[in-house]
Structure formats: C-alpha cells, structure tokens
Structure 1
C-alpha cells in the first residue's frame, strides 16, 4: 500500500517548479491531488502528468491574495475530492531587492501572498484537517544568509511563515494536525534560467552546496514532503527542514 493511499492533498502554486514536483510526488504515493494557482493552463499540465501516471488530480484556479477565492478553492476541493488531509502552501510572490529599493506595494504583495495567504489557507482547511491532517509551509534559507543584502523583505515574509507554522503546530497538535516547514533549493524553471544565463555565478552557487547539486523538484523535494505528511513522520511537528543539500546553517 502506498504511503498516502486515500488521502486528499491541496498544493498551491502547483503549476510548475517546486509545487509541481510536490504534487507529482504526493500523487505517486496514492494521494488525490488538487493543484491551485492563478493560471489554469499550467495547473492542467500538472494534472495531466498525474493522470497519465494513473493518479487523480483536480485543477482549481485560485488567487491566494483573495480571501474569498481561498474559501471557494477549499470548498471545491472538499466537495469534489471528498475531503482534505494535506495542505501544502507553496505559492508566493517574491519581493527581492535592497531595503531602500523595494516599494511598500511590492513588500505588501510578498506579505499578502506569503504569510497572510498561508494563515488564511490554514484556517480555511483546519476543520477538514482535524484528526489526521498535515500541513507543509515553505520558508527560505534567505533568512540565514551570511550576507542578507537584497533578501531582507523576502526573508521577513518567510520568517513570518515559520512563526505562524510553529504557533499552529503547538495549538493544533491536540487536534491531530501536524505543521512543518521546508526550506528548499530546487531546480525550478526560474532557477534553471538563472543558471543558464549566469553560468559562473551558478557554478559558485553549486560549489557552496555540500552535496554538489541543486535538488530535483520531484525526486528530492516532493518525495521528502510525501514522507513528512505521511504516518512515517507522525511524531514530527513544528520543525523546519532545510532541503538544500547542506548549504545553509540554521543553527
């Protein structure tokens, strides 16, 4: 029997990159997977890959910065797939730039799509997760960079997510809900494009990773998430797991 047989998962930002890799890995372990995001075409591509492998998938358009859209999305997933056991908060707008350069509007989008959306989704899913639910939220090693120049706003949004995750883990443990955080390095389309455009910088980046490579979205990140939300990790909650080949030192 597969690890997640009979479970229902919701993955935001599941149309590409890390979110897609997680969705594929969850489906490979037997979960019925709903992928949510703003672009239906990319969501359907992910769902197509899942169904080609024999799984069940649902594409749900959702703007995570819209509270009403979140409520509609969760209701559609529960009504269509019969419940909800796993939530993965992956979607976020990334506010990169120096302290004096990032505008309030850009930072606000990072907050609204990051910690605020994460909180809203956890609240909306809470009644359905009670009993045997698992949540995975995404953080970033940008928060522990020795040189945080250009990453302050982004790190702030991700650290807020970590704080909310820890609070939820402590408050919801008695309800049978586990909440953990991952901080991944993964070969998403965006990172792949940067590596191809800036080969020297990319080579230096890879050299800084003890395992000598950037993680694969499905095989390295997705499979670990599948383990974390399974009963094999049933005693783990409130933790941040760095999936970065050993690069960052969280202390």
Structure 2
C-alpha cells in the first residue's frame, strides 16, 4: 500500500497547518530534524497539502505499515548516490525501535549518572534491546507476512538496507521527510511510547492525559513485574 511519510493531516487544513507551524521552531533540537529547512512545504500558510507529493510517499506491506504507524519501526536515511543525469539511488536503513519503560509526561534526571539513576536505567534498557538483536515487537503476528520483503526469505531485521531509485530532483525533499519521520519515531521510542504514540501530549497541563499516561506507566511496570 502507498502511504504518506509525513502524515497528510500535518497540513491538510489551516488548523492542522498552524499546529505544525507551532512546533517548527523547536524541531532543530529534535535529533537534528530539519523541519525549519522543510518549512516551505511542510507548513506553508499559502499552500495547504504541501507534502501531498510523490517524494513524500512509500509503498509498504499493509502489516508493516501498521507497525510503522505505531512507531514500532522506522526508516533512516543513509545516503543518496547519483546514477545518471536524471536518476539517483537513495539508501534507507530499516530499524525496529526499542520498547522500553514508558516515561511520557514524567520528569527524569539526565544529569545524575550513578547506579540506579534515571539516565543509567534508560541506557541499560536500550543496551538490553540492542544486545537482544533489536528484535521486532513481541508477539510478531506479521513475521510470516514480512518474510517476502527480504530476498533471502528471512525475517525483516534491523539494519536491512532498502535502495530506492527516483528522479534526482526529488531526492532532497525525500531525504528531508525521511529525516523528520526518523526523528519523530526515535523521540517516541526514547520516551517509551513505542506502540502507543497517541499517549504523547503537547499540553503539560492536560490532567486527563496525565492520568492516562500514569495508568499506562503503571500497567507497563506491573506487566514487567509479572514476567
């Protein structure tokens, strides 16, 4: 199925476009995402739907798309190579994202680095994920459906490279939207909302969302206690 990389709802209406514009000034701190550089088409007040273009689309297996939409996986831009005068090859790397303790809406101390500190626990959880081979989310009901995506017939693993040929004129913007997608999903993973991106909230004073986030953390912690 063909899917937008940057969601269509980022700029399909004036209200959505303005919301996207509100965060563009903070985006450079979001793992280097160049939302400001892409602002002319991501949130252009004079042209809605600026990302409804072929360079903002990918063709994905329906099961993979479901996992991608939940933040379980992401695509990282590796390089762009010129093939001839008009064509280029863009290389992406597929990554399964960490599933760690939910920290959404929770203040953590990133300065303390001793045993038991928030920072140390965070690093340990990420190390466990990588030491286990950056596995897909358990259970993986789509594993069989995804086998055909690799030439070897093996399950789709983190690090798998994807080569896409496209017009050279489209590569710059394609690379930018892939970078923004990567930054957003990486942020989602690092605060522990892989699989539950809807739990993120821009409003720190949203008491209802804070309660929902607290319940999600409690359920997550007790699920780990029962393992």
User: When the two structures are superposed, what TM-score results if normalisation uses the length of structure 2?
Assistant: 0.30
Greater helix share, structure number: 1
User: When the two structures are superposed, what TM-score results if normalisation uses the length of structure 1?
Assistant: 0.28
